[in-house]
Structure 1
Amino acid sequence: MGTVIIIPARFPSQRFPGKPLQPLRGATGVAKTLLQRTHDVALRVPGIDAVYIATDDERIAEHADTFGAKVLMTSDQCRNGTERCEDSLDKLPSEPDLVVNLQGDAPLTPAHFVTELIDGIGDAAVATPALLCDDETLSRFRQDRAAGRVGGTTAVMTRAGRALYFSKEVIPYVADDKPAPPVYHHVGLYAYRPAALRQYVGFEPGPLETHEGLEQLRFLENGIDVQCVTVESRQSMFWEVNNPEDVPRVEAALAKLGIE
């Protein structure tokens, strides 16, 4: 196998229980679950050898079966999607060269994000996309934080694109009397070498991962570089379903894009 996409999906969630099974209406009013819409995204990516949904929940597995998805049943001890991807490795027919983690809450992910991520990983063990925030997205980030909600994630990186930090706060901080630097929206999408996944599960979560609730910080806390691949949305805003309040935002985007 060359490259596989794995969509980790779990039922429990503090902010949004049962999120993968949340219906989202498209441009014609047809409702599909968040999980099915994310699976549809994966199927649109060219050059992928296989697409799987990885879960420990029978409700999710049974639903995935209704739309013909391949399911990998993983341990209920997986603490995040990266651990679930690692747990999936020995359940695959053969070991892939690259594993893409397409998180199950991102139905607006353009297929070209995945292609550019795969092309841009270079010699890194782990890569993830970063999208320059437009004014609308940045405003939504700030509105969420002002309302006490955790919305999207931002990233800061070196000039060569190596990640310095990821945060659920809007970073970098901008003083009122200074021109604003670019703010990058971290896209919940990863490409890993299998060896990096195996290293990852050998580390315990550190304080940064624990307090931010961001799984990718475990790589940085243990000295493993994460390559940020800058991407452009081209057609519409990119947004994940992090909270129930995000459902109408994403439905509006589906309608704007004409996605059924």
Structure 2
Amino acid sequence: MASYLNSEPTARDDLRYMVMASATPQFFNLGGDLELFVRLISDRDRDALYEYGRTGIDVVYDNWTHLGIPTLTTISLVQGVALGGGFEGALSCNVFIAEECAQMAFPEMLFNMFPGMGAYSLLTRRIEPFRAERMMRTGRQYRARELWEMGVVDVLASDGEGVHAVNDFIRRHGHSRNAQEAIQQVRQRVNPITRQELVDVLEIWVDAAMRLTARDLRVMERIAAAQELLDAPKDETSASSRDHYAEAETPASVLRVAAGG
């Protein structure tokens, strides 16, 4: 894919759709590398933390601007859990498709931070700023249907039908591709997200991260451990670990239990 995208523009004219999905059942993306965050913040390595964030916003910007290819439409397909940076990644695509089972949240408030890789910019291009801020400030988990009703998710698919929904969207989109691509260009002209906007927010995020306390970092470490537990097969986790989170009904609530110690 990289060599294809780096080829001459004329060689990319046939690229119409790019779909971002997960090969891991029940999970889309659990977010950033919190263990790395803790280490970089503890070491006061602001530059490395900034570079990590810069890599993240580069992906967001490329998805949002469809890799600089006017005829390309980027699509995210969420069939499970998307948290933090994973949620931002899904939002960054031109079209957001999610199955009913999908669960999404910004849990950064649990460790006294905010999602800084484009969440505010991306959400406010879809919904009102006060709703976007509420999502970020509360860290509440949202079901796909609720996000679809809010206008965050573009296409809601039945469980297990996500791939079919993507194919159906591509088929319908292709019938009026000229108009669809023109509307996409108009949207990004009238309500753009610039790379500089993302960089400016990243600077605020890095500054906020460098102000985190030892207590905040301990909470982050516990949440990182909970992320690993969520991602690990059940037979690879200890009974005591599972018992600790037994009353947590959703991935977001697992992280809340972890944050509480």
Question: TM-score, with normalisation over the residues of structure 1?
Answer: 0.28
User: More strand by proportion, 1 or 2?
Assistant: 1
User: More helix by proportion, 1 or 2?
Assistant: 2
Question: TM-score, with normalisation over the residues of structure 2?
Answer: 0.28
